[in-house]
Amino acid sequence: MSDGPVQDGRANPPLMTQKPRLSFWQIWNMSFGFFGIQFGWGLQMGNMSSIYEYLGASESQLPLLWLAAPLTGLVVQPIIGHMSDRTWGPLGRRRPYFLVGAILASIALFFMPKSGTLWMAAGLLWILDASANISMEPFRAFVADLLPDEQRTVGFAMQSVFIGAGAVIASKLPGWLADWGVGNTTGPGHPIPETVHWAFSAGAVVFLLCVLWTIATTREYPPEDLEALRRKKAEGFGEIFTALRQMPTRMKQLAAVQFFTWMALFCMWIFFSVAVARNIMGATDTSGDLYKQGIKIANDCFATYNFVAFLAAMAFLWIGRHVRAKWIHVVSLLLGGIGLASVGVIKDPTLLLVAFVGVGIAWASILSMPYAMLSHALPPDRMGVYMGIFNFFIVIPQILVAIILSRLMENFPQVNRLSAVVFGGVCMILAALLTLRVGDRHE
């Protein structure tokens, strides 16, 4: 009899109430798909603002052009979570969504750098974000489905390891391609550098193959009561609103933490790359070498924080066995907030790498500890829908940032790319303080 999700695809695991502990390699395989997902996200985070500026976007347009990510997450994740809670078929419960999302996201990645107009790039970003959300949302519930309570912190930390590794390579890839002789110039007829074309094509392949690996190597537990599953299917999407009204106390506490955390991250993702190029390096247009040098420095910073996140996530695999997720998260967010806020006073671009060490520690915790704290408080039959609803408190602050900052930048010249990044650091410090309010596991 199997002791967990089967790795060779020969049989489904048995029905059981108590989930068995899984081996390191079983947790590795079930998390490996996140490497591909984050490879795609990493390319997007490091390059979309510069792609928009290459295609003629102004500073105040950037937040609105980035609205695709939070708006698609707001709609897609709770719906996919609700549907995956009620799905069972040859591929299981969550894996059908991994597959569909990976195929669509890979197509969007391939065509993104071929955009000839600003609105084509914006449209492809909508497709990419919706597709990546279809793949990503069930992965959170996947860990909670397959791992016993005492291994969930380790499971979410393993996801963070792959997220960090995928994002490091994605952030560095355009620069590596330039070093290997791939063209990095822009001009009439080719507004987006060839390095970006090749990097996004590689991302499309990696995204799909990594998700396929998890699908092929990890089986899911079948429902213990198929009749109950059929009854749940008949509930309709109104169950999302019922679950929202019945949200557990700890989830409400974590919602405030997530709100300010993701406000900070969104400011960083939208503005940091172009802030380095424009405000720190002093570039005045996108065609000059100074602008491209600034974007490269920013990508190195993104690679640094993702590499540090990779190392921190591996450390969390051990630390999580001895220290509560709450305290890991408090310290990590403080380090990240201080690092991000310090960008406002750094004049030497090389010191930015030091500041982003703290951001990397925070990122590793953001990707794992809130979910470890949350999963213990959720009923198993609503795991997917609650993970989707939890995403509300990730995407709503991003929507607010996009709308408010675009208006402020349009009307107040003193509100610029760099001040938006510093504001993000302040928000992350506030999130750390709010984490102190989160109750312990048994409260």
The predicted-structure confidence for 259-296, as pLDDT tens digits, reads as follows 999 999 989 988 898 888 888 887 777 777 788 888 88
Distance CA 243, CA 356 (A): 37
Whether 413 shows a pLDDT value over 80: the answer reads no
Is residue 22 predicted with pLDDT exceeding 70?
Answer: yes
- 62-100: pLDDT as tens digits: 888 888 777 777 778 778 877 877 778 788 888 889 899
State the Cα–Cα distance between residues 398 and 97, nearest whole angstrom.
24
- In angstroms, rounded to a whole number, what is the distance separating the alpha carbons of residues 124 and 146? 34
User: CA 89 to CA 306: how far, in whole Å?
Assistant: 36
Which among 399, 321, 298, 343 is positioned nearest to 73, based on CA atoms? 399
* Region for residue 9 given its phi and psi (left: phi exceeds 0; alpha: psi -120 to 50; beta: otherwise): left
Distances 96 to 91, 92, 136, 232, 405 between C-alpha atoms, Å = 6, 7, 12, 18, 38
Helix, strand, coil percentages (3-state) for the chain, rounded to 5, are 75, 0, 25
CATH code that applies to domain 30-219+247-435: 1.20.1250.20
Whole-number pLDDT of residue 335: 97
Tell me if 308 sits within 8 A of 357, measured CB to CB.
yes
Count the neighbouring beta carbons within 10 Å of the beta carbon of residue 292: 21
State how far the Cα of 22 lies from the Cα of 147, in Å rounded to an integer.
7
What are the sequence ranges of the domains in the chain? 30-219+247-435
Q: Name the pTM for this structure.
A: 0.70
Q: How many residues does the chain have?
A: 443
Under DSSP, is residue 246 helix (H, G, I), strand (E, B) or coil?
coil
